[in-house]
């Protein structure tokens, strides 16, 4: 769930900025967690601003490697099936 966002610009004289992720942090405490994404705004290679977005997670569970591996295997199988149908 979105909690907050902070934006700071060095100036407002820009026409076509891009956004670049600069950092990401997840802090977990039991079944809850906080995710913070830091990013910068650039134009013509120059940093013109920065920001942070904070999100709250709930209902977290312990990491289950076997379940994740099964999910990845299923995804890769479906992807392979889809791609082979595209070439036929």
Chain centre distance of CA 82: 26
Angle at 24 between CA 28 and CA 5, to 5 degrees: 90
- Check: CB of residue 54 under 8 Å from CB of residue 38: no
pTM above 0.85, yes or no: no
* 87 band by pLDDT with thresholds 50, 70 and 90: confident
Note down the domain range covering 21.
2-87
pLDDT single digits (tens) 2-45: 899 999 999 999 999 999 999 999 999 999 999 999 999 999 99
* Joined tokens for residue 74: 């299923």
**Count of structural domains within the chain:** 1
* 88 band by pLDDT with thresholds 50, 70 and 90: low
């Amino acid at each position: 769930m979105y909690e907050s966002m902070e934006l700071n610009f060095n100036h407002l004289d820009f026409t076509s900025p891009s956004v670049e992720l600069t950092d990401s942090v997840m802090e977990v405490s039991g079944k809850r967690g906080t995710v913070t994404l830091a990013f910068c705004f650039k134009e013509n290679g120059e940093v013109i601003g920065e920001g942070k977005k904070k999100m709250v997670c709930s209902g977290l569970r312990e990491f289950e490697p076997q379940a994740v591996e099964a999910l990845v295997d299923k995804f890769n199988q479906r992807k392979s099936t889809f791609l082979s149908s595209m070439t036929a």
